[in-house]
Amino acid sequence: MKRWVPRLVVFLVTACGIAAALMASWVTFSLRYSVPGWRFGIGSAAGDGSKTGLLSFGIVTAALCVVGLIAYLMKFPRVLASTGVGMLLLSTGALLQIAFADTAILEDLIRDQMQYRGAEVFAHRNLPMNLGTEPSRRRILSTSAIGDRIYTTQFFMGLAWYVTISVGVIGTVSGIRGLPSWRWRHAAIFLGVMAHLALVALCLLNPIRAQRAVTRALQLESDGDLNRATEEYRRAMRLDSLYTLDPFVQERIGAIDSATGRTNTPEYGIYQSDLFVQQNDLPSAIAELEKLLRKEGDAAPPILRKRMADLWTLNGRRLYQAGAIGDASIAWQSALLYDPRQMLAGFCLTTAYYELGRYQESVDLIASLLKKCADPQMQGNLLSNQGDAYTKLGKLNEAHLAYRASYKLDSILNWRALTALVGGN
């Protein structure tokens, strides 16, 4: 093999690693567009692109790729092995950050996946049938245990994460193979493993303590020691931010408040709302949360508004299936007022607008949703809905373009767009 061939391969691998780390996503939403790697911050809540800094996973990984390339060309195996281990540490850190530190992203990812599945069900029940069933990204997602959170987070990791692992493994193996003796190689492997174990231990310490606090609280609650149980629940929330987002702990505190007659606490309102949901009384659940939001005002946590949007969306779907399309549209409009990123509510509302004869509103809403939506299946359905609305408005050229764009995005089983393009029903 000519000498330039291995170098060319190394240059290509490095270029692919840099491009993927910077431009591809480290974590991928099911419906919404994900931020590129250069905007996904290390150790900060930047998964939604709200914060950008030099210390982003993409930029640091790209820098390590450049250092690794120089080390390979200059024949510095220890530096090459170190950059490879560094990239593996970054990939491990990204997974652990989402699972245990930046849990707001994890909650958003799970919620987005639930909207994706809801859109699948709604389209199957209420939109014109396509040629067959589209492939589905389904997985049972849970955050109830440490292992579940890692398993769930891995489901959402994006292309940049996998590329970083691959390039990191290549750099680590190449560097270790170039070391002068087995003693050096064993030392490098040992240090790499210990660095990963230290990172894992650091990230898992508080979540494990929080989980133990919840276990103790449940035991104390069953024993009737309600005050100490409340203290343990609140301790778990301080140790692990997931428990401030997951309503379970707050509902347990609300149940204790209900048992002790404290009916003016936020946790009591959350508990009462969940009771109504379990009884399939969504209007009462919504009214309870509305009362709580009015009481909390600007101090209300964002999770309450998201919860309200989800309840309005679910209520709208039930009203729509019962034939109350006007009431369903009002419910979905309310959901979007509480959370404009409730993609499922917007998707359903475009269909309701069409059935109510509000064609221009359907077209305008679809245009705004397409700017946020990254899923080809939903994009295809939205564009077909837009084509239908344009047809009713008599704008046949725009309808043709919408159907064509729908079929171009989703051409596997998109019988609906294809038949519309040729004038079928």
Q: pLDDT, tens digit, for every residue of 255-299?
A: 999 998 888 888 898 999 999 999 999 999 999 999 988 888 877
- Are residues 83 and 154 both part of a single domain? yes
Q: Tell me how many domains the chain contains.
A: 2
Give the whole-angstrom CA distance, residue 418 versus residue 384. Answer: 10
Upper half-sphere CA count for residue 176 (Cβ side, 13 Å): 18
| Rounded to 5°, angle at Cα 319 from 344 and 332 | 35
- Are residues 256 and 193 both part of a single domain? no
Written as six digits, the tokens of 126 are 């209420």
- Are residues 156 and 292 both part of a single domain? no
Helix (H, G, I), strand (E, B) or coil at 41: strand
Beta partners for residue 373, in sequence order: 32
> Is the residue at 279 inside a domain?
yes
Where the chain has pLDDT below 70, the residues are: 1-4, 44-54, 129-139, 411-415, 418-419, 421-425
Give the whole-angstrom CA distance, residue 420 versus residue 403. Answer: 7
- Are residues 180 and 258 both part of a single domain? no
- Are residues 178 and 58 both part of a single domain? yes
> Is the residue at 355 inside a domain?
no
Amino acid identity at 264: N
- Are residues 72 and 152 both part of a single domain? yes
Cα 147 to chain centroid distance, Å, stands at 18
Cα 28 to chain centroid distance, Å, stands at 6
Q: Which of 270, 300, 330 is the last residue of a domain?
A: 300
Q: Which of 403, 400, 326, 327 is nearest to 357 (CA)?
A: 326
Written as six digits, the tokens of 21 are 């780390």
- Are residues 163 and 255 both part of a single domain? no
> Is the residue at 258 inside a domain?
yes
> Is the residue at 99 inside a domain?
yes
- Are residues 177 and 257 both part of a single domain? no
- Are residues 185 and 44 both part of a single domain? yes
> Is the residue at 128 inside a domain?
no
- Are residues 255 and 169 both part of a single domain? no
> Is the residue at 95 inside a domain?
yes
Say what the pLDDT of residue 86 is.
Answer: 96
> Is the residue at 350 inside a domain?
no
Non-local (6+) Cβ contacts of 337 within 8 A are none
Amino acid identity at 92: T
Give the whole-angstrom CA distance, residue 42 versus residue 21. Answer: 13
Q: Which domain holds residue 54?
A: 4-116+146-198
> Is the residue at 312 inside a domain?
no
Amino acid identity at 315: N
- Are residues 150 and 263 both part of a single domain? no
Written as six digits, the tokens of 211 are 């989980």
Burial 258-292 (b: 16+ CB within 10 A, else e): beeeeeebbbbbbbbbbbbbeeeebeebbebbbeb
Say what the pLDDT of residue 264 is.
Answer: 86
- Are residues 150 and 265 both part of a single domain? no
Cα-based torsion angle of the residue sequence 206, 210, 211, 215 in order, rounded to the nearest 10 degrees: 150
Give the whole-angstrom CA distance, residue 1 versus residue 138. Answer: 46
Non-local (6+) Cβ contacts of 339 within 8 A are 305, 306, 308, 309
